[in-house]
């Protein structure tokens, strides 16, 4: 890398032995004397994150709706945080809750499809399309909103998008009711016939974002001695730092330390899993995957924050689990397996147990939002310049219903969303209306999506 006294390019990358480390937005990239056009080029563009949970919400049940377990009782800006949403109260100014929309694309359209909701729901979440029932290669769904945004505003970044997940994937074959497993394995679709694979292993995700570190032998050697991918670019880092002011040096230092810390965490997980092998809670999982759901999710969230900070990509999707998962979330205070808890039999105490799991998942989302809010990005934070969509295509899991699905948005999307808002839609409003609104708020010219009938006033 050759440095001059001119402003740094927003696309400056430090390279060495396979490493490719992009930089966060620094003041040195936008000098005070820059033209308006130069500032516009350097200014941050909105990031989009689509996060899917499965099995719906306790708040989507009749009991949960009456008792406002998820949806606040009041609309507008004076709403109170419900029992489930409470972990997100610190982010009120960045939060938009949209209640009573239906993910009707996940409903059965023929007798053969009845009961197959778990096997097509994920495919509908970001597409609002109805997945074709097939076991073969003639799959058909719809383009997802993350890919529509990536197509419009993600082509000038190293990676147009990234797709991450937590649970195991089948990737081929039939998963149930004559549905191909691909419908359960991803929420990202480049077009109606092209599902995008999701990465479960943090090591693979890290190397996709920051370079492979040379040959497979180079990577294995580096991992054995716990070296960092940053060791290959030490001189460039020192040379760059000398040309930065104190504020930019601090920002660069924090960013690189975050990269190094994530490496340490991955190395620690790999060492533990290698040593314990069959004793692991998830013995069949890749060596880089932690047994702890909480640890795994937070590691993947941190990778997304780093990717957004350096604009390696502006688009990510994250599948927090897989339908029919019976994982136990002891940290939530509920010891009932997740899928079992969603089949509550209309028992109030079991619905409340499911609510504890929902609340715990939002607590983990709060970790991500806090990291985004704490990361500087131009004239604000990453959370100011992001739109995070979180929800489920399932409503009441007990009946495999798709009414009143849980859905919220976080972030200001570079000023397109104000936050601090609860919108209660009329019954039978398509969830597709929210997806269409999201695209328009992100600057994508789109007039319809799936079964949309209009937009939502957010």
- Which domains occur in the chain, in start order? 47-200+290-441 (3.40.720)
Entry pTM: 0.93
Report the pLDDT value the prediction gives residue 2, as an integer from 0 to 100: 38
Residue 298: HSE in the Cβ half-sphere, 13 Å Cα cutoff: 16
Contact 411, 388 (CB under 8 A): yes
| H or E element in which residue 391 lies | strand 386-391
Contact 233, 14 (CB under 8 A): yes
Q: Quick one: CA torsion of 82, 92, 98, 188, rounded to 10 degrees?
A: -110
Q: Which residue has the tokens 């927003």?
A: 10
Q: Please name which of 405, 397, 412 lies closest in space to residue 432, comparing C-alpha atoms.
A: 405
Report the pLDDT value the prediction gives residue 14, as an integer from 0 to 100: 85
Geometric angle at alpha carbon 311, from 310 and 316, rounded to 5°: 120
DSSP 407: E
d(CA 389, CA 369): 12
d(CA 151, CA 235): 36
Q: Please name which of 54, 75, 57, 51 lies closest in space to residue 425, comparing C-alpha atoms.
A: 75
| H or E element in which residue 388 lies | strand 386-391
**Could you tell me the mean pLDDT of each successive run of 10 residues in the chain, 458 residues long?**
58 79 86 54 82 97 96 96 98 98 95 95 97 95 98 94 90 85 96 96 94 54 65 88 91 93 95 91 91 97 97 97 94 96 96 97 98 94 98 96 97 97 96 98 95 95
DSSP 135: S
d(CA 383, CA 2): 32
If one counts every other C-beta atom within 10 angstroms of the C-beta of residue 374, the result is 12
- For strands 174-176 and 179-180, give the pairing: antiparallel
Contact 308, 47 (CB under 8 A): yes
Contact 266, 206 (CB under 8 A): yes
From the centroid of its chain, how far is CA 256? 22
Report the pLDDT value the prediction gives residue 36, as an integer from 0 to 100: 52
| H or E element in which residue 421 lies | strand 421-430
Q: Please name which of 100, 168, 154, 104 lies closest in space to residue 321, comparing C-alpha atoms.
A: 168
Report the pLDDT value the prediction gives residue 87, as an integer from 0 to 100: 98
**CA 377 to each of CA 23, 89, 306: distance values in angstroms, whole numbers, following the listed order:** 12, 23, 11
List CB contacts of 37: < 8 A, sequence separation 6 or more: none
Q: Please name which of 57, 52, 283 lies closest in space to residue 164, comparing C-alpha atoms.
A: 52
Return the percent helix, strand and coil in the chain, to nearest 5: 40, 15, 45
List CB contacts of 35: < 8 A, sequence separation 6 or more: none
Residue 449: HSE in the Cβ half-sphere, 13 Å Cα cutoff: 30
3-state secondary structure of 139: coil
Alpha helices by DSSP H, listed for 8-144, are: 36-42, 62-66, 117-125
Report the pLDDT value the prediction gives residue 38, as an integer from 0 to 100: 53
């Amino acid at each position: 890398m050759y440095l001059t006294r001119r402003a740094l390019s927003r696309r400056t990358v430090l390279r060495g032995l396979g490493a490719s480390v992009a930089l966060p937005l620094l003041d040195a990239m936008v000098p005070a004397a820059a033209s308006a056009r130069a500032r516009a080029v350097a200014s941050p563009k909105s990031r989009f994150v689509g996060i899917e949970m499965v099995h719906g919400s306790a708040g989507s049940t009749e009991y949960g709706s009456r008792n406002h377990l998820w949806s606040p009782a009041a609309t507008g800006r004076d709403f109170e945080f419900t029992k489930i949403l409470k972990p997100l109260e610190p982010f009120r100014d960045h939060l938009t809750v949209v209640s009573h929309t239906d993910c009707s694309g996940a409903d059965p359209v023929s007798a053969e499809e009845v009961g197959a909701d778990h096997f097509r729901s994920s495919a509908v979440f970001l597409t609002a399309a109805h997945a074709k029932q097939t076991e073969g290669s003639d799959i058909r769904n719809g383009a997802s909103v993350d890919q529509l945004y990536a197509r419009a505003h993600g082509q000038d970044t190293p990676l147009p998008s990234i797709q991450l997940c937590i649970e195991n994937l089948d990737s081929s074959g039939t998963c149930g009711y004559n549905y191909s497993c691909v419908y359960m394995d991803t929420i990202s679709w480049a077009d109606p016939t092209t599902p995008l694979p999701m990465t479960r292993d943090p090591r693979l995700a890290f190397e996709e974002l920051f370079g492979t570190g040379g040959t497979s032998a180079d990577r294995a050697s580096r991992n054995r001695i716990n070296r960092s991918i940053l060791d290959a670019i030490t001189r460039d880092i020192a040379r760059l730092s000398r040309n930065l002011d104190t504020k930019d040096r601090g920002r660069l230092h924090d960013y690189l330390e975050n990269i190094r810390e994530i490496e340490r965490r991955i190395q620690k997980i790999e060492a533990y899993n290698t040593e314990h092998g069959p004793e692991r809670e998830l013995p069949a999982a890749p060596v880089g995957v932690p047994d702890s759901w909480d640890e795994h999710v937070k590691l993947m969230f941190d990778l997304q924050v780093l990717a957004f900070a350096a604009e390696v990509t502006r688009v990510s999707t994250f599948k927090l689990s897989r339908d029919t998962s019976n994982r136990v979330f002891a940290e939530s205070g509920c010891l009932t397996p997740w899928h079992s808890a969603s089949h509550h039999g209309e028992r109030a105490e079991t619905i409340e147990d499911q609510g504890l799991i929902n609340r715990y998942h939002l607590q983990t989302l709060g970790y991500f939002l806090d990291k985004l809010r704490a990361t500087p990005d131009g004239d604000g934070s990453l959370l100011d310049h992001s739109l995070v969509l979180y929800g489920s295509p399932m409503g009441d899991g007990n009946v495999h219903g798709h009414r009143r699905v849980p859905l919220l948005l976080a972030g200001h999307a570079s000023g397109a969303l104000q936050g601090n808002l609860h919108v209660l839609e009329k019954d039978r409003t398509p969830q597709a209306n929210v997806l269409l609104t999201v695209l328009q708020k992100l600057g994508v010219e789109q007039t319809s999506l799936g079964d949309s009938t209009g937009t939502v006033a957010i």
